[in-house]
Amino acid sequence: MIVRDLMTMDVVSVSPEEKIGQVASILTKKRIHGVPVVDGENKLIGIITETDFFIKDCFNFHLPSYIDFIKNTKFSGSLGYIEKQKIKKLVKAVAKDIMSTRCITVSPEDNVDKLLALIKENDLHTIPVVDSSGKVEGVIARSDLIRIITA
């Protein structure tokens, strides 16, 4: 069996300029673990996973709710300049600010054994499937593998 047989072809992706609040909302609403970040030609330039929100100097909470809270709150003079700048930076952050540019990918023609080894070795939940030019053709999630076990 090859990757093409398992991959999800209806890929949810984001641009590098997508606000991180929107990216977080996509992950939450679609119940997915990651989204490829693509350029205008659908070429993979990065990936954002749930983990990126916590290891890239963000906070450990429901990020979309927090960003909405910040946008809608009028802070009193109790915040210092540094705190205000951090809040502004968080609200204005976009996908390219937190994406991982080192992406492990597979080809649609790769054998599933290679895919399984990559998932196991790297503890991955989502792997972009790209063609030889780097264009995203699909995505493989752990749930795709579970689907073949239960079929």
Encode pLDDT of 17-69 as tens digits.
999 889 988 988 998 989 999 999 999 999 998 877 765 554 444 455 555 55
- Per-domain boundaries in the chain: 3-150
* Tokens 């890929």 -> residue: 11
**CATH code for the structural domain at 3-150:** 3.10.580.10
Instruction: Give the H/E segment covering residue 125.
Output: none
Strands 34-38 and 44-49: antiparallel
Name 127's bridge partners: 140
pLDDT in tens, 59-100: 444 455 555 555 665 555 566 777 667 666 767 789 998 899
- pTM for the model stands at 0.78
- Cβ(26)–Cβ(120) below 8 Å: no
